[in-house]
Amino acid sequence: MKNNYKKVSSHGSINIPVAMRREIGIQGGDPMEVALNNGVVTVKPYTPRCVFCGSTENVKKLFGKGICPECAAKAVQKMEGSGK
């Protein structure tokens, strides 16, 4: 894909061209991860991870943190006193 020239708005925003958004499957309102590495800014779709095991499969939010079904089940067992 070709490079595009975009200006930063007075609020610090940059618009991602619609063709690029379609190519990577993002829509307005989708969470994005922004990183700075050696002076290069990267933007990619945010993938929530389980705070316990790091999995990205079927992660749900619980009190603002990500948790996968397996770790949630282990937590329930611990809370019920049956897990070690």
Token duo for residue 31 = 């969470």
What gap in Å lies between CA 55 and CA 66, rounded to an integer? 9
Domains of the chain as residue ranges with CATH: 1-45 (2.10.260.10), 47-84 (no CATH)
DSSP state of 73: H
Task: Give, as one character, the DSSP assignment of residue 20.
Answer: H
Distance CA 23, CA 53 (A): 30
Would you give per-residue pLDDT tens digits along the chain (84 residues)?
567 788 999 999 999 889 888 888 888 888 899 999 999 999 888 888 999 999 999 999 888 889 999 999 999 999 998 655
CA angle (35 as vertex; 67, 20 as ends), nearest 5? 95
Q: How far apart are CA 76 and CA 5, in angstroms?
A: 51
